[in-house]
Amino acid sequence: MNSFHFPLSRSDAEALDARDPLAHCRAAFALPEGITYLVGHSLGPATQGALLALQRAADEGWVRDRVSAWNSANWIGLAEQVGAKLARLIGAGERDVLVCDSVSVNLFKLAASAQPLAAARRLVVEEDEFPTDQYILEGLSSMTGVELVRAEAGKGVAELKGGVLVKSLVNYRTGEVADVAGDEAAAQAGGGLIVWDLSHATGVLDVRLKAWGARLAAGCTYKYLNGGPGAPAFVFVDEALAPELASPLPGWMGHAAAFDFKSTYQPKEGVARFAAGTPPILSLAALDGALEIFHGLNMADVQEKARRLSQMCLMLAEKAELKISCPLEADRRGGHISVRHCEGYAVVRAMADWGIEADFRAPDTIRFGLSPLFLSYAEVWDAMQELTEILETRSWDKACYREKAVVT
Amino acid sequence: MNSFHFPLSRSDAEALDARDPLAHCRAAFALPEGITYLVGHSLGPATQGALLALQRAADEGWVRDRVSAWNSANWIGLAEQVGAKLARLIGAGERDVLVCDSVSVNLFKLAASAQPLAAARRLVVEEDEFPTDQYILEGLSSMTGVELVRAEAGKGVAELKGGVLVKSLVNYRTGEVADVAGDEAAAQAGGGLIVWDLSHATGVLDVRLKAWGARLAAGCTYKYLNGGPGAPAFVFVDEALAPELASPLPGWMGHAAAFDFKSTYQPKEGVARFAAGTPPILSLAALDGALEIFHGLNMADVQEKARRLSQMCLMLAEKAELKISCPLEADRRGGHISVRHCEGYAVVRAMADWGIEADFRAPDTIRFGLSPLFLSYAEVWDAMQELTEILETRSWDKACYREKAVVT
């Protein structure tokens, strides 16, 4: 990343803002003035498009058309329609993504349906994986008797041995990015399958599932996609693999003819077979509206800005002598950076008093989400200066966080 | 039901309206004038409370407080809070109900976690059960190798033999009500468990789960509870049984300390262990607001009005010489009645032209939902007179529907 340009000064930051291809997006967000929101990796803020779509679903759907809105507002096809919009953002075919349920439930569906196709009866998860991914595999292992192996961080593929691995593209804590193409090649060579958890990647990285050879993925939509609190999650299945997969949760919405009310199950074609029950339409409508802002955006631009923002942020965190707990190279990270401070919770509260919102993960991790659609370089620059002042002017126990790192 | 009084004339209907303890509820619904909405058993209409709660969740939660709303608006506890409100309506302890996921997913969780406690490795479902209940048991059977038995309609308990039965309290097609107390006693005597599907019962019948000895139930909230399209479903677990149940979908929201991000799973106490992923907050907030209308209502009054309405409706359907396909006795039915007409779809469309909304289920079933909170006796009387006129004045093939029945 030596040729990688990120702002080294506030005037650099201003210059990048002036030619930012995403600068127009900020106006679409319902974010109050005076707030620097560095928690878009946890809950993306509302956009006008999402709020409008939500209101329409309530007023024109539920109130005006009532049950007829299943047809008039295409609620019946909404999960697939929103999936198609989302597909472009992760490099998937537009018929290969379905919005449904939660990440937890979707990981279960994918891992359970992939297991019979794997060379080995073996489930693998890395020990620093997001907890729900670990728990869900525990549940699946208990139900089916298939062995669950907890691999060391980064060793999931090495331990795969023809089984099914659930792995995050971006680690929730450190922000580290996995090598999807490399991991897929290794997994497939051994008859194994990987279910990618894209929760911290979608909407901020230039994810290219098909090009990378990924075949199964799930992810959440309430982070960088700004779909709303607890917005429904998604499933991606490669079209060639889909016909071989039987959902363990074959609800009526995944039936090829749901309204024929047949006793025998006939799954829909493709990824749509992973629908289970009736989707939460109001939440789904908000997500539909939230995705409008991505229309016409180049995801490479989005990723580039996230990397510049995060690299600048990391440089300033280093200057503030914070312990860095994420990769230092921009192309090995997702959209957030992580630092450590033993009084991290108090630091985050102090920042909030200045209108800078960040998050804290026990025991000592502070995360800054660098959402490229609503943050400016200058704004993040100023936030980090404020953090530096907070650290300098209060009587923190400096021994607990200062550490040298080299950001390039 | 010989002593049962239901309106036999329009003036009877008016008289009952005049002393209806639920009459005040109508004003809380966002229903247009001139519409008689007989589809509340499919999608309950919006209430002002639900719309307001939805708007608050968006404006005061997502927009104003952003990620902090997980605490400030108690989003983190919302699934349990709404569960507690719902519990009173189904005769459950207020800590024994959790709102989460869809009915399909919840039936899976309950049946899967109940199976290890049952005397026999056997899953049972009746062949006229709502399709998703059948499909979900198929999926569970395929995953676990536990035999699935399809019993004849009404023979589920007889075929249980110590296994796990999934059974609707109110049949979706015929509206017939099961005998929960009797079925539970028979099931428990043989070491079996029943997972009750309350979808067509909750909010319209005086359901008394604990008094009846029910131990496991799931149900939907978008019918008579008016929670909104695809509103999240619920799970009920008897508190004595809960500690023995391990959810097959142990997502992070069911963890006793979700934000400690531990690798090992420690379920929450009680029914809350059935939470999986992050709930769809916007949809959940609407449901929360929708339940306000039930505050202070006596569910016995609600059930009584539903029965009077449906009995009156059935009498008028009989006069119109429609084939009746639901029980004729009011106390054997839920909140809807079913009739058959080989041109049923066209009949429903013709009624819609007169502002009367009913629904059609292939091949020939017309259903009228008699939601007691927003329908008046006189309004339903008039709707059925309109239907009679439609049937009399158009050239329907009368041979295809006329049949004698005796409504008492």
Are B253 and B323 contained in the same domain?
Answer: no
- Among candidate residues B271, B294, B317, the one where a domain is terminated: B294
Cβ separation A231–B263 shorter than 8 A: no
Could you tell me which residues come within 8 angstroms of residue B165 by beta carbon, excluding any fewer than 6 positions away?
B123, B124, B125, B156, B157, B187, B192, B193, B194, B195
A105 reaches B (C-beta below 8 A): yes
**Within a domain: B407:** no
Are B208 and B70 contained in the same domain?
Answer: yes
Peptide bond just before A363 cis, omega within 30 deg: yes
Residue B241 dihedral angles phi and psi, to the nearest 5°: -85, -30
Q: How crowded is residue B283: how many other Cβ atoms within 10 Å of its Cβ?
A: 32
Cβ separation A102–B357 shorter than 8 A: no
Could you tell me which residues come within 8 angstroms of residue B64 by beta carbon, excluding any fewer than 6 positions away?
A32
Are A116 and A170 contained in the same domain?
Answer: yes
**Which tokens go with B65?**
């407080």
The question of whether A360 is a catalytic residue gets the answer no
Nearest to A25 by CA among A404, A400, A333, A371: A371
B138 reaches A (C-beta below 8 A): yes
Instruction: Specify the long-range contacts of residues B93-96, CB closer than 8 Å, at least 24 apart.
Output: B93/B210, B93/B239, B95/B239, B95/B270, B95/B271, B96/B236, B96/B237, B96/B238, B96/B239, B96/B242, B96/B270, B96/B271
pLDDT digits 0-9 by tens, B251-304: 999 999 988 888 889 999 999 999 999 999 999 999 999 999 999 999 999 999
Cβ separation B278–A61 shorter than 8 A: no
| CATH number of domain containing B55 | 3.40.640.10
What is the ipTM score, two decimals? 0.95
How many residues in total does chain B contain?
408
Chain A residue at shortest CA distance from B262: A131
Are A288 and A154 contained in the same domain?
Answer: yes
**Within a domain: A310:** yes
Task: Give contacts of A 211-240 with B, CB under 8 A.
Answer: 220, 222, 228-233
Are B213 and B104 contained in the same domain?
Answer: yes
**From start to end of A22-110, where are the E strands?**
36-37, 97-99
A279 reaches B (C-beta below 8 A): yes
The question of whether A197 is a catalytic residue gets the answer yes
B300 reaches A (C-beta below 8 A): no
**Which tokens go with A3?**
């040729």
Are B246 and B162 contained in the same domain?
Answer: yes
B102 reaches A (C-beta below 8 A): yes
Are A57 and A185 contained in the same domain?
Answer: yes
Contact of A156 with A178, CB cutoff 8 Å: no
Cβ separation A70–B220 shorter than 8 A: no
**Within a domain: A357:** yes
Q: Which of A43, A56, A99 to mutate to test the interface with B (most CBs of B within 10 A)?
A: A43
CA distance A103 to A87: 16
**Within a domain: A160:** yes
Partner residue opposite B265 with nearest CB, options A54, A103, A135: A135
Helix (H, G, I), strand (E, B) or coil at A133: helix
The question of whether B210 is a catalytic residue gets the answer no
Q: How far is A329 from chain B (nearest CA, A)?
A: 26
Q: How crowded is residue A59: how many other Cβ atoms within 10 Å of its Cβ?
A: 14
For B15, the enclosing helix (H) or strand (E) is: helix B10-18
The count of CB pairs under 8 A between chains A and B is: 256
Q: What is the pLDDT of residue B405?
A: 46
Cβ separation B252–A132 shorter than 8 A: yes
B61 reaches A (C-beta below 8 A): yes
Q: Which of B367, B368, B374, B377 is catalytic?
A: B367
Q: What is the pLDDT of residue A401?
A: 58
CA distance A92 to A56: 28
**Within a domain: B31:** no
Are A236 and A310 contained in the same domain?
Answer: no
The question of whether A294 is a catalytic residue gets the answer no
**Within a domain: A35:** no
Q: Which of B6, B222, B224, B401 is catalytic?
A: B222
| CATH number of domain containing A16 | 3.90.1150.10
Could you tell me which residues come within 8 angstroms of residue A377 by beta carbon, excluding any fewer than 6 positions away?
A7, A12, A13, A14, A16, A17, A20, A308, A309, A312
Cβ separation B255–A286 shorter than 8 A: no
Q: What is the pLDDT of residue A405?
A: 46
- Among candidate residues B273, B294, B315, the one where a domain is terminated: B294
Q: Is the dihedral of CA A168, B109, A284, B99 positive or negative?
A: negative
Cβ separation B104–A229 shorter than 8 A: no
CA distance B322 to B317: 6
Cα–Cα distances (Å) from A47 to A32, A54, A115, A303, A369, in that order, read 12, 11, 39, 20, 17
Could you tell me which residues come within 8 angstroms of residue A340 by beta carbon, excluding any fewer than 6 positions away?
A322, A323, A324, A325, A364, A365, A366, A401
Are B289 and B341 contained in the same domain?
Answer: no
Q: What is the pLDDT of residue A282?
A: 98
- Show pLDDT as tens, one digit a residue, over chain A (408 residues): 445 789 999 999 999 999 999 999 999 999 999 999 999 999 999 999 999 999 999 999 999 999 999 999 999 999 999 999 999 999 999 999 999 999 999 999 999 999 999 999 999 999 999 999 999 999 999 999 999 999 999 999 999 999 999 999 999 988 899 999 999 999 999 999 999 999 999 999 999 999 999 999 999 999 999 999 999 999 999 999 999 999 999 999 999 998 888 888 999 999 999 999 999 999 999 999 999 999 999 999 999 999 999 999 999 999 998 999 999 999 999 999 999 998 999 999 999 999 999 999 888 999 999 999 999 999 999 999 999 999 988 777 666 655 544 444
Cβ separation A361–B233 shorter than 8 A: no
A126 reaches B (C-beta below 8 A): no
**Within a domain: B64:** yes
- Among candidate residues B261, B279, B294, the one where a domain is terminated: B294
B134 reaches A (C-beta below 8 A): yes
Are A224 and A372 contained in the same domain?
Answer: no
Q: Which of A37, A108, A130, A234 is catalytic?
A: A130
Q: What is the pLDDT of residue A398?
A: 62
Chain A residue at shortest CA distance from B66: A45
Are A332 and A270 contained in the same domain?
Answer: no
Helix (H, G, I), strand (E, B) or coil at B361: strand
Could you tell me which residues come within 8 angstroms of residue B353 by beta carbon, excluding any fewer than 6 positions away?
none
Residue B56 dihedral angles phi and psi, to the nearest 5°: -65, -45
CA distance A93 to A110: 18
pLDDT-flagged residues of chain B (< 70): 1-3, 397-408
Q: Which domain holds residue B284?
A: 51-294
Peptide bond just before A7 cis, omega within 30 deg: no
Q: Which of A144, A278, A371, A375 to mutate to test the interface with B (most CBs of B within 10 A)?
A: A278
**Within a domain: B90:** yes
Q: How far is B314 from chain A (nearest CA, A)?
A: 23
The question of whether B197 is a catalytic residue gets the answer yes
To 5 degrees, how large is the angle CA A249–CA B291–CA B209?
65
Are A357 and A277 contained in the same domain?
Answer: no
Please state the domain count of chain B.
2
